[in-house]
């Protein structure tokens, strides 16, 4: 099988962007730009390995951005993009890759189909560049005045990843004059090789100025959908001296009866999360007939539901819980409950709401025969294709 390396060039200092953090390390939809870029390649079934060329001052930023991703060790870049790319290529000389895809770190929204089209077109002699035909009218400017229309026929604006036979592009880079080229395809052409143009994607833009980041955020939103799940739970009161609510032990002259710790708050939240991904209910995973869950800490149930959401690529946007009882009073414990849920779900406390109401002495709750909880969860998920 052909082995393909994705070489991501991230050695820029991003001075055009302003600010102190280089643009490839800034968050885009909560995830560093570079991590999104790497993920696009790491998830592609035909990419064998990913290696990043970084600025010598960015080791800490890089480590924080990639975390425990399974990558080849980073290569330190040089003063220009061309020299940085050559460093990256040279570092992989002994690794036996057939094809290399060279990609700008600041194109985080590259799609799998573009990567596939580039890979499809590469052979021993032919380089491949994704791009889009220019559709706007092009005009030359001179001292702020139009100096005529430029014929746009046959003109493309090119993107990355640019794909090449590994040894051919390394050789071309080594023989290229320093810092004369704006991309790798130009270096390949200068060495006498043909370069094929294939269709890129309109979303595969370069994040160069703050406006680009905003546009990328909007494009990213189009790749997500929002889901809502609902949960409801009731437990009867019985003899006891405290009651578990939202992972907090609240002193009371009764307790809630149940197989586990009978925590209505965490049970309703668990069902809301499961509901958002159509994954059954709490009894599906933790049946009351199973002795393992006798007296269990319901945080286990909620954590499991959150892990199922995460497995599907989902992120919890917020959870909202209403507790219903005459007593005990929830107010004095509300902040502790919010903190406990936020800790279990690894959310900031402003994404967790705990509210309480009585039922005006009506019904079984009004007669203090038990306690109920109702929860809603909102989840952000990658949209189905
Ligand atoms: Mg329950």
DSSP 8-28: EEE----GGG-SSS-GGGSEE
Q: Is 152 exposed, middle or buried (0-12, 13-18, 19+ CB in 10 A)?
A: middle
Task: Tell me the two tokens of residue 122.
Answer: 């590469």
Higher-confidence residue of 182 and 236: namely 236
Give me ligand 1 centre to Cα 110, in Å. Answer: 45
Give me ligand 1 centre to Cα 267, in Å. Answer: 5
Give me ligand 1 centre to Cα 271, in Å. Answer: 9
Residue 62: strand, helix, or coil: helix
Closest by CA position to 170, among listed 191, 152, 140, 155: 191
Give me ligand 1 centre to Cα 233, in Å. Answer: 5
* pLDDT at site 121: 96
Give me ligand 1 centre to Cα 336, in Å. Answer: 20
The string of pLDDT tens digits covering residues 42-97 is 999 999 999 999 999 999 999 999 999 999 999 999 999 999 999 999 999 999 99
How does residue 15 score in pLDDT terms, banded at 50, 70 and 90? low
pLDDT at 18 over 80: no
Q: Average pLDDT in the 1-17 region?
A: 85
Mean pLDDT of the chain: 94
* pLDDT at site 372: 98
> For residues 195 and 270, what is the distance between their CA atoms, to the nearest angstrom?
54
Give me ligand 1 centre to Cα 351, in Å. Answer: 23
Higher-confidence residue of 329 and 27: namely 329
Within 191-285, where are the H helices? 210-221, 264-276, 282-285
The CA–CA distances, whole Å, from 125 to 111, 191, 193, 195, 332 equal 25, 11, 6, 9, 73
pLDDT at 346 over 80: yes
Give me ligand 1 centre to Cα 350, in Å. Answer: 25
Handedness of CA 316, 333, 286, 230 (dihedral sign): negative
* pLDDT at site 313: 85
* pLDDT at site 64: 96
For 134-170, the DSSP string reads --S-EEEEETTEEEEEEP-TT-EEE-S-EEEEHHHHH
Q: Average pLDDT in the 90-107 region?
A: 96
Give me ligand 1 centre to Cα 44, in Å. Answer: 42
Q: Average pLDDT in the 169-195 region?
A: 94
Q: Average pLDDT in the 351-361 region?
A: 97
How does residue 284 score in pLDDT terms, banded at 50, 70 and 90? very high
Give me ligand 1 centre to Cα 47, in Å. Answer: 46
* pLDDT at site 382: 82
How does residue 224 score in pLDDT terms, banded at 50, 70 and 90? confident
Give me ligand 1 centre to Cα 140, in Å. Answer: 70
The string of pLDDT tens digits covering residues 253-269 is 999 999 899 999 999 99
By the 8 A CB rule, do 123 and 72 touch? Answer: no
The CA–CA distances, whole Å, from 128 to 92, 119, 145, 174 equal 20, 8, 36, 19
Q: Average pLDDT in the 145-155 region?
A: 94
Give me ligand 1 centre to Cα 381, in Å. Answer: 27
* pLDDT at site 220: 84
Is this model's pTM higher than 0.75 or not? no
Closest by CA position to 88, among listed 65, 47, 38, 54: 54
Q: Average pLDDT in the 154-165 region?
A: 97
How does residue 17 score in pLDDT terms, banded at 50, 70 and 90? low
Give me ligand 1 centre to Cα 254, in Å. Answer: 16
pLDDT at 1 over 80: no
pLDDT at 195 over 60: yes
Location of structure tokens 């059954």: 280
- Ordered by where they begin, the domains of the chain are 4-221 (3.90.550.10), 224-382 (3.30.1330.50)
* pLDDT at site 190: 95
> For residues 377 and 352, what is the distance between their CA atoms, to the nearest angstrom?
9
The string of pLDDT tens digits covering residues 374-384 is 999 999 998 87
pLDDT at 16 over 80: no
Give me ligand 1 centre to Cα 67, in Å. Answer: 37
Q: Average pLDDT in the 273-288 region?
A: 95
Closest by CA position to 78, among listed 29, 9, 161: 9
Give me ligand 1 centre to Cα 332, in Å. Answer: 23
pLDDT at 23 over 80: yes
């Amino acid at each position: 099988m052909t082995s393909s390396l994705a070489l991501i060039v991230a050695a820029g200092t991003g001075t055009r962007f302003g600010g102190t953090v280089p643009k490839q390390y800034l968050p885009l939809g909560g995830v560093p730009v570079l991590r999104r870029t790497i993920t696009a390649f790491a998830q592609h079934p035909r990419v064998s390995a990913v290696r990043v060329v970084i600025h010598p001052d960015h080791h800490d930023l890089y480590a924080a951005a990639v975390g425990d991703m399974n990558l080849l060790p980073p290569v330190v870049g040089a003063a220009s993009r061309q020299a940085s790319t050559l460093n990256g290529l040279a570092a992989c000389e002994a690794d036996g890759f057939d094809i290399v895809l060279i990609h700008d770190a600041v194109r985080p929204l590259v799609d799998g189909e573009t990567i596939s089209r580039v890979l499809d077109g590469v052979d021993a002699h032919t380089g491949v560049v994704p791009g889009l035909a220019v559709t706007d009218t092009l005009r030359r400017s001179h001292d702020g005045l139009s100096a005529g229309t430029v014929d746009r026929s046959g003109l493309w604006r090119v993107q990355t990843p640019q794909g090449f036979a590994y040894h051919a592009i390394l050789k071309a880079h080594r023989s290229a004059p320093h810092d004369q080229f704006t991309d790798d395809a130009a270096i390949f052409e200068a060495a006498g090789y043909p370069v094929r143009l294939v269709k890129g994607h309109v979303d595969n833009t370069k994040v160069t100025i703050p406006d680009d980041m905003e546009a990328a955020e909007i494009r990213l939103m189009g790749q997500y959908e929002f889901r809502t799940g609902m949960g409801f739970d009731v437990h009867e009161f019985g003899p006891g001296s405290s009651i578990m609510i939202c992972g907090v032990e609240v002193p009371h002259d009764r307790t809630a009866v149940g197989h586990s710790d009978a925590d209505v708050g965490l049970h309703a939240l668990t069902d809301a999360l499961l509901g958002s991904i159509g994954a059954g209910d709490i009894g599906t995973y933790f049946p009351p007939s199973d002795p393992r869950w006798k007296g269990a800490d319901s945080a286990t149930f909620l954590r499991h539901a959150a892990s199922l959401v995460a497995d599907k690529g989902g992120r919890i946007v917020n959870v909202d819980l209403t507790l219903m009882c005459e007593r005990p009073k929830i107010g004095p414990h509300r902040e502790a409950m919010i903190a406990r849920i936020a800790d279990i779900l690894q959310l900031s406390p402003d994404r967790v709401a705990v509210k309480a109401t009585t039922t005006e002495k009506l019904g079984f709750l009004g007669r203090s025969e038990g306690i109920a909880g109702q929860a809603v969860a909102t989840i952000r998920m990658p949209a189905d294709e």
